Amino acid sequence: MIALLLILVPMIGGIGLFFLKGEKAAKSVSLFVASVALGLMIAALTNQDPSVINFHAQWLPQLGSSFALKMDGMSKILCLLTTLAYPIIFISTSKNQYTSPNSFYGLMLLAQAGILGVFLAADGLLFYFFWELALIPVYFLCSKWGGERRISVTFKFFIYTFLGSLLMLVGLLYLYYQTPDASFSMQSLYDVKLTTGQQAWLFWLFFIAFAIKMPVFPFHTWQPDTYEESPTAVTMVLSALMVKMGLFAVVRWLIPLFPAAAVQFDNVVIGLSVIGMVYASILAMQQDDIKRLIAYSSIAHIGLMSAALFVNNESGLQGAMIQFFSHGVNVLGMWIVVDLIEQQFGTRKMSELGGLAHKAPTLSILLVVVALANVALPLTNAFIGEFLMFNGLFKFNVWYAAAGGLSIILSAVYTLRMIQKVFYGNSNSLTANATDISAAAKIGLGVIVIAIFVMGVYPKPVFALVSDTVNSLLGIYK
């Protein structure tokens, strides 16, 4: 039941916001709705009874599809990330002005409903439904409130992902006709017996859809442009939450549906991911725009996670799932800083900034913590995940681990260079009158920094949460 409410609350809130007038009202209502969702999520975490959390209802009986929602350990992690991220986004960007704010916040909440639906759906068709629904509000958000090149850039993004999901739909349909009881339910789909040949091409139909969403090299070309052109609040949703949809779908759908193909093509997928890691890191070093830098660094981080999902050992899978959460938190922190800088100075170019550390000490300290978490320094949350993932990759093949390790070194290079250029050195005419951050931004960043340290020192609760997903996945491989 809680799972249903989790989707309904932002959906109804989002639709309701369209009929609201006034900026203040839109902001407070959206924050209220997001907090209610967070409260529901906490209720779900403290509740051990699956019948209270999960939900099942008739939807399209003649198609064998039902409105089934199920929360396992990994869904919990990702739903928690989503519900936690939204209040943080709303608080830390509360100073930003948008034209027709009620539609903006309404669409943001609709996107949340879609994303949560993806993480909860336990029915193939329902999953596909939410997968698409999460995309539509984001398309409108980017095209309406984005930067100069927004229309063409988001259009590319939309068509790319839409094509991917349609290919997945064909695969899903084929799979559906192989089920003995003509049903889309997750368990029936899992139980389908496929030949190796069938698995092979179905694997690719699904994988391309997920790879575009993540994005994995060479399907990543939409990503830097879209991140750059979107309003930063939307970029946060895209990079902290929506890319996780692709990774999540690999764990919940791709590998359990086609385990033999996942083993057969593990080298291809891991190879592509590792190439993407190194390639994106090299590109990140060349960037002057902070937003593009973070976009490329995000591709590198996602590459490591997608590689770790296919290494087929406990360490890699565990690390990847913990990193789902850590990466979401860290990248959110990075975007908040970018947004603060852009709002204050009107530029995101590193070459035009400098010397902020004197003028805005709080911002600088918080950024350094987030940035160090981004390069996975010990004691921060990302260290745990990345260490485990590299361990898994190492067990799979030493050379992949070595090549991937290169991208970690490079990530330190570009992140530290960014800190240096933006916060140190001499201040110029633009940054001379800089002021420190507002209380709202402090709250947002403060929560993130706390999360970084708590998870970095005491990751055990998260391990406990994901252990059931990891074990069932390893069981499928065997």
Partner 1 sequence: MNLIIISAIWGVVMMFSGLFISSRTAAKNIALIGALLLLAGNLFDLSGEMLLNSDFKGMLLYDRFSLLFLTVAVISLIVYFLLSSKDILVVGNHPYEYFALIFFIMCGVGLVALFNNLLILFIGIEIISIPLYILTGSDKRNLKSNEAALKYFLMGSFSTGIFLLGIAFIFGATGSFSIDSLTLVPEGLLQVFLITGIVFVLIALSFKVSAAPFHFWTPDVYDGAPTVFTSFMATIVKAALFVGFLNLFLNAFAGHYEKWRLSVAIIIALTLFIGNITAVFQQSVKRMLAYSSIAQAGFMMFSVFAINDMARQGMLLYAAAYSLATIGIFSVLIKMKDFTFDGFNGFAKKQPLLAFVLTVCLLSLAGIPLTAGFFAKYFVLAAAVKTGIYLWLVIFAVVMAAISVYYYFRIIQAMYFKDGEGQDIEITPFYKGVMLTVAALIILLGVLPSSLLNWLVLY
114 with 130: CB under 8 angstroms? yes
Site for partner 1 in 201-230 (CB under 8 A): 205
> Rule CB under 8 A: is residue 36 a binding residue for partner 1?
no
Nearer to partner 1, 15 or 409 (CB): 15
Select 176 or 296, whichever has its Cβ closest to partner 1.
176
Q: Please report, as residue ranges, which positions from 53 to 92 form the binding site for partner 1 (by CB under 8 A).
A: 60-62
Q: Give me the least distance between CB of 143 and partner 1, in Å please.
A: 5
Binding map of partner 1 across residues 284-323, x = CB under 8 A, - = no contact: ----------------------------------------
Q: Point out which span in 131-139, 391-399, 411-419, 440-448 binds partner 1 (CB under 8 A).
A: 131-139
Residue 195 interacting with partner 1 (CB under 8 A)? no
Q: CB of 212: closest distance to partner 1 in angstroms?
A: 11
Q: Is 45 in the site for partner 1 (CB under 8 A)?
A: no
Task: Between 164 and 444, name the residue whose CB sits nearer to partner 1.
Answer: 164
Of residues 4, 8, 20, 133, which one binds partner 1 by CB under 8 A? 133
Q: Which of residues 31, 56, 64, 162 is near partner 1 by CB under 8 A?
A: 162
Q: Interface with partner 1 includes 402 (CB under 8 A)?
A: no
| Contact between 150 and partner 1 per CB under 8 A | yes
> Which residue from 155, 387, 453, 477 is in contact with partner 1, where contact means CB under 8 A?
155
* Count of residues near partner 1 by CB under 8 A: 27
Q: Of 43-51, 78-86, 133-141, 424-432, which segment contacts partner 1 by CB under 8 A?
A: 133-141
Residues in the chain: 478
Would you say 195 or 435 has its CB closer to partner 1?
Answer: 195
In angstroms, the CA 102 to CA 80 distance is 25
Stretch that binds partner 1, among 90-98, 161-169, 248-256, 331-339 (CB under 8 A): 161-169
* Residue from the set 98, 105, 119, 128 that interacts with partner 1 by CB under 8 A: 128
Nearer to partner 1, 170 or 379 (CB): 170
Site for partner 1 in 166-185 (CB under 8 A): 166-167, 169-170, 173-174, 176-177
Q: Rule CB under 8 A: is residue 143 a binding residue for partner 1?
A: yes
Name the site residues for partner 1 (rule: CB under 8 A): 60-62, 128-129, 132-133, 136, 140, 143-144, 150-151, 155, 158-159, 162-163, 166-167, 169-170, 173-174, 176-177, 205
